[in-house]
Structure 1
Amino acid sequence: MAELTKQGIGRVLAKQGILIAFVVFMIGFALANPRFIAVDNISGVIRSSAILGVMALGVTFVVIGGNLDLSVGSMMSFSTIVVLDLHDKIGPTLAIPAMFGLTLGLGAFIGFLVGYLKLNSLIVTLGMLSAIHGLTLTWSGGQNMDIADKSGTWFSVFGQGNIAGVPVPILIFAGLAIVLSLILSKTPFGRKVYAVGGNGKAATFSGIPRARIVFLTYLISSFCVACAGLLQASRSLGSQNTVGQGLELEVLAAVILGGASLLGGSGTIFKTVIGVLILGFIQNGLLLMGLAFYVQYVVTWVIIILAVWLDIAAKRGRLLSQIA
């Protein structure tokens, strides 16, 4: 009986561990500072996490497909700078689709290298991280970007607007999460992404076009990055050309926290959203406790290590390896 109970608890922790961790974090920080659970604070955390969250939604597809994308931070900087620069030159109506087109072009190039040429995704996206950063600096001439007339543009609605009292960034984040969750869980394409990530060779022998599936996951990721760049540019109406630098680490942390395996084949959009919120509320809770902002970097690193460790431990059935 005790063994059955132990196995039942183990299955619950394996399937719902991220939700349990989220509740524990919320209770802990609420006890430390009652202001933590105030409605305005919770809304503010979700709103500030929306940009990271939108990027994490796209990277979830890439990771489930068995690959990595370390270029999303630099690509977000590029998207933000491009749309701000084009805003004053051709207007927001044309600047937005132009920015999406250029960003999708970068995603398609990465997808081609990883999917069709079968190059290592870690090496490709690490190289593209530097290449896109250089492209951003070249586009901006090394200068930061600002919209000239900040009071006379409707462009700010994406990052600063509200609909029925709900901030637009939250609505965009939630809307994308719902749509992408349905695509991943309810469509043949979503099932193929899981199959390719779980066992690429078996998927190929089963008739699944592995190269095309991988290519499309990078297109989805770049689309989400473009949405994040739009939110970032619209929120501040100006930006440094390094605004996305380092975000790839936080995005990957959120995706792994959500249960997506680095080995591919597992993960959900819903749990990625929970992973994003955990990171956001941890950072907010640490600040409310009076800890310096740079402590967040240490905590993020610890969380990544723990998440990877638990992911591997779950697959081998023990926390510690028997091999010295």
Structure 2
Amino acid sequence: MADTATNPVSLKAAGNFLARQGILVAFVIFMVGFALANDRFLDMDNVLGVVRSSTILGVMALGVTFVVISGNLDLSVGSMMSFSAIVVLDLHDKIGPELAIPAMFIMTMSLGALIGFLVGYLKLNSLIVTLGMLSAIHGLTLTYSGGKNIDIADKEGTWFSIFGQGTALGIPVPILIFLGLAALLSILLTKMPFGRKVYAVGGNGTAATFSGIRRARTVFACYLVSSFCVATAGLIQASRSMGSQNTVGQGMELEVLAAIILGGASLMGGSGTVFKTVIGVLILGFIQNGLLLIGLEFYVQYIVTWIIIILAVWLDIAAKRGRLWSPIA
């Protein structure tokens, strides 16, 4: 009788665990499955290659995590990354990398500040604002470059390539930038007063305002963090290829949101962590790599990614209602 009485409790506990930590369980299952399917999957060169190829997406996702936790969206990051890469490459040959890099960061973060002002202080809908900025920044990029791709003239005589192609202690520099930035932003989000304000604003903006938190300032700061990360991603992209197309970041805003959702952040705001966003980025990267290694065509990854996103959203909803299945069903 005792075992029968405890079974519902055990099942509920298991359901709650899957709802809270399902994405980590899924990550382990995918890694084990692909490792069994192909011996090369866990080869160190392959692992480093996957992580390195995921760094640009990952760096962008770190910043957007702050925006999503605050209860907003940022669909402009793809176009903004294209803009930052084009600007830093163009200015590299005109004023040198020493001045081009800070100039690019200032210009990119100015765009982030504009979005933060519109969403935070004017209280406009973040989806509408950033969707409009996606097109506006793309047009700005084309106008700036005259519709042409940009390449560095003297690729051998510059140290600029270190950000995308360099290594330190045997580890690619892009990975070190990604992990270092993730560690700093994780501390900012979990250990600093600003992080608590971000969670409060995203969880209940009205209550946060009555608690003395300046909601508009917090949202504005989140978009600054996001644009800083986008500028960093643009720097890595430009340094990796030493040239860039005007549309290099096109569509990446959806991949960024996918990684953040996979990491367990709620689009309703108030939940999410930098660590789980990193896990979400790695899941996308390793799934794409694993599917290719087992011989599936690259376009299959889009279907698999869609299934995983649906699963992640389901687990997010389940975590909020305390059960995997709807009580109505």
TM bin, normalised by shorter chain, reads over 0.9
Within the candidate set 116, 120, 138, 1:111 is matched to 116
Within the candidate set 159, 175, 186, 1:154 is matched to 159
Return the alpha-carbon distance in structure 2 between the equivalents of residues 156 and 249 of structure 1.
28
The code of the aligned residue for 2:137 comes to I
1:323 Cα deviation from its structure 2 partner: 5.7
The code of the aligned residue for 1:55 comes to M
Match of 1:47 in 2: 52
Match of 1:80 in 2: 85
Match of 1:247 in 2: 252
Please say which of residues 311-320 and 55-64 is displaced more in the overlay. Answer: 311-320
Match of 1:36 in 2: 41
Return the alpha-carbon distance in structure 2 between the equivalents of residues 105 and 36 of structure 1.
41
Within the candidate set 264, 287, 292, 2:292 is matched to 287
Please say which of residues 158-167 and 290-299 is displaced more in the overlay. Answer: 290-299
Match of 2:315 in 1: 310
Asked if the contact 2:163/2:240 (under 8 Å) is kept, the reply is: yes
Q: Counterparts in 2 of 1:136-215, with a 5 A limit? A: 136-215=141-220
Match of 2:235 in 1: 230
1:14 Cα deviation from its structure 2 partner: 2.8
Return the alpha-carbon distance in structure 2 between the equivalents of residues 105 and 300 of structure 1.
33
1:32 Cα deviation from its structure 2 partner: 1.0
Q: Secondary structure at the match of 2:40?
A: helix
Calculate the TM-score normalised by the size of structure 1.
0.97
Match of 2:16 in 1: 11
Paired residues, number: 324
Return the alpha-carbon distance in structure 1 between the equivalents of residues 226 and 203 of structure 2.
19
Asked if the contact 2:15/2:324 (under 8 Å) is kept, the reply is: no
Calculate the TM-score normalised by the size of structure 2.
0.96
Structure 2: gaps spanning 5 or more residues: 1-5
The code of the aligned residue for 1:213 comes to T
Match of 2:3 in 1: none
Within the candidate set 244, 263, 268, 1:263 is matched to 268
Q: Counterparts in 2 of 1:85-100, with a 5 A limit? A: 85-100=90-105
1:73 Cα deviation from its structure 2 partner: 0.4
Q: Secondary structure at the match of 1:36?
A: coil
The answer to whether 1:278 aligns with 2:293 is: no
Q: Counterparts in 2 of 1:127-138, with a 5 A limit? A: 127-138=132-143
The superposition leaves residues 18-76 of structure 1 with CA deviations (integer Å, 9 ceiling, x where unpaired) of 21111101001111111101010000000110110000000000000000000000000
Return the alpha-carbon distance in structure 2 between the equivalents of residues 129 and 236 of structure 1.
23
The code of the aligned residue for 2:20 comes to K
Return the alpha-carbon distance in structure 1 between the equivalents of residues 192 and 200 of structure 2.
13
1:301 Cα deviation from its structure 2 partner: 2.5
1:17 Cα deviation from its structure 2 partner: 1.7
1:111 Cα deviation from its structure 2 partner: 0.2
Asked if the contact 1:253/1:303 (under 8 Å) is kept, the reply is: no
Asked if the contact 2:12/2:323 (under 8 Å) is kept, the reply is: no
Instruction: Detail structure 1 runs of 4+ shifted over 6 Å in the superposition.
Output: none
1:299 Cα deviation from its structure 2 partner: 2.4
1:298 Cα deviation from its structure 2 partner: 2.5
Within the candidate set 54, 73, 76, 1:71 is matched to 76
Return the alpha-carbon distance in structure 1 between the equivalents of residues 305 and 17 of structure 2.
25
The answer to whether 1:219 aligns with 2:220 is: no
1:302 Cα deviation from its structure 2 partner: 2.6
The code of the aligned residue for 1:105 comes to S
Asked if the contact 1:250/1:300 (under 8 Å) is kept, the reply is: no
Return the alpha-carbon distance in structure 1 between the equivalents of residues 55 and 322 of structure 2.
35
The superposition leaves residues 264-309 of structure 1 with CA deviations (integer Å, 9 ceiling, x where unpaired) of 0000000000000000000000111122222222222332222223
Return the alpha-carbon distance in structure 2 between the equivalents of residues 28 and 149 of structure 1.
45
Return the alpha-carbon distance in structure 1 between the equivalents of residues 317 and 17 of structure 2.
17
Return the alpha-carbon distance in structure 2 between the equivalents of residues 215 and 323 of structure 1.
40
